[in-house]
Amino acid sequence: MANLIPPSIMAVVYGATGNVSIGGLFLAGIVPGVLIGIGLMVYSYFWGPVGVKKKRASFAEVAVAARGSALPLMIPVIIMGGILTGWFTPTEAGLVAVVYILIVLIPVLRPRHVFELPRDFMYAGLLYSLPLAAVAGASAFGWIVAYLRGPDLVADYITGFAGTSGSMIMLLLVVLFVVVGDFIDAIPAIIIFMPIITKLGEVGHINPLHLGVVIITTLVFGLITPPYGLALLVASKYVGVGFGRAMVRSLPLYVVFFLTIAFCVFFPDIVLWLPKMLLPESLGCFKSPSGTGYICP
């Protein structure tokens, strides 16, 4: 769900690679994220294991917890607020959030941690060298695919089945990325297949923002599907459950994802409602010549 509810790294990469509004993707990702959350809660309530009921927290305890978390919770406010108000680009918003952490959070909450910052910077560089290497390889492969006219070949193959129907094209793309997400991490997959996505979006006259949300939601589903299933693999290892057993118990949860993806495909107006209300430019809308309201294609 963290890859759908803003701020999402997948949305940033998709927007930067496909020239799609990142702020619009952030807002559009809220609907599928909430739907998946509700679906998982419903399944857990009716068919999940019986949990241990704990004592309800008092108002005083909630107030203390809220006060303790007030400063860290400013980070998503800075990122989302800065992007949606137009104060920052997504890159600048991330930079401002880092500066806020260094200048405000660490000195106030953990002042002794200042001496550990050099180690943190080194660890961050090491950690992000891995996905950046994957992105570099994916970018080169994506360039080769585009040079060899791979998008045209795949687009012709898919349109041979779906014609120019936007819904059918998206359903076939969902099938494609369910398979792709089983073997490739989401970020390289987006970069490699972006030329194909763009080409098919043009053929089916699909709004780029709508198509982006569907693709991202499908790739998120790949995090819990074998054989890659990185999130499921890490979680099963963390709690001491075999990957095979975890996969079998996750099968009913796949239904939640498929229903959410189908909803996103067939009900674009609901998915794009928030971007249309708060960031209409992300949908290609422009201000009315009369000076009031927007005109949307």
Chain segment 145-155, per-residue pLDDT in tens: 778 877 778 77
- Range(s) of the domain holding residue 273: 9-48+55-284
Whether pLDDT at 273 is above 80: yes
DSSP 51-110: -PPPPPPPHHHHHHHHHHHTTTTHHHHHHHHHHHTTSS-HHHHHHHHHHHIIIIIHHHH-
Chain segment 131-188, per-residue pLDDT in tens: 777 778 777 877 787 788 777 787 788 888 888 888 899 999 999 898 888 877 888 8
Whether pLDDT at 129 is above 90: no
> How many structural domains comprise the chain?
1
User: Domain for residue 169, yes or no?
Assistant: yes
Report how far residue 107's alpha carbon sits from residue 129's, in angstroms, rounded to the nearest whole number: 28
User: Domain for residue 296, yes or no?
Assistant: no
End-to-end CA distance of the chain: 30
Query: Can you name the residues that pair with 287 across neighbouring β-strands?
Result: 294
User: Domain for residue 293, yes or no?
Assistant: no
User: Domain for residue 218, yes or no?
Assistant: yes
User: Domain for residue 1, yes or no?
Assistant: no
User: Domain for residue 203, yes or no?
Assistant: yes
Rg value, the chain, Cα: 21
User: Domain for residue 40, yes or no?
Assistant: yes
User: Domain for residue 289, yes or no?
Assistant: no
